[in-house]
Amino acid sequence: MKVQVKNQNGMVQDLEVASLMITLGNGETLEIGEESSGRPDHLSEGVTVWGGRMPEQGASLDELKESTRGLGLYPLAANMIHLFPLSK
């Protein structure tokens, strides 16, 4: 997955990544990964967004509970949403 990151001075850097982790000011995280291979054919290409972090393969139920969060979604405009992880 190709991403561009922009620093506070407006400088843009292109990166090739497996996922993009965003840490919010309150310490909660969102992880954006390449879309799931199980996407139905009628859906357009997109990304998969996890509240917290993507689950690690073989993780215990306790580890999954600790690393994942539910997601909240608030539409702001036709081309903009507010997406946030729900706190535990």
Question: pLDDT truncated to tens, each residue of the chain (88 aa)?
Answer: 899 999 999 999 999 998 999 999 999 999 998 876 677 888 888 888 999 988 888 889 998 888 889 999 999 999 999 999 997 6
Instruction: Determine the 3-state secondary structure of 1 from DSSP.
Output: coil
- pTM, entire model: 0.79
Q: Is 27 left (phi over 0), alpha (psi -120 to 50) or beta?
A: left
**Is residue 85 within 8 Å of residue 72, measured between CB atoms?**
yes
Query: Cα(19)–Cα(17) distance, rounded to whole angstroms?
Result: 5
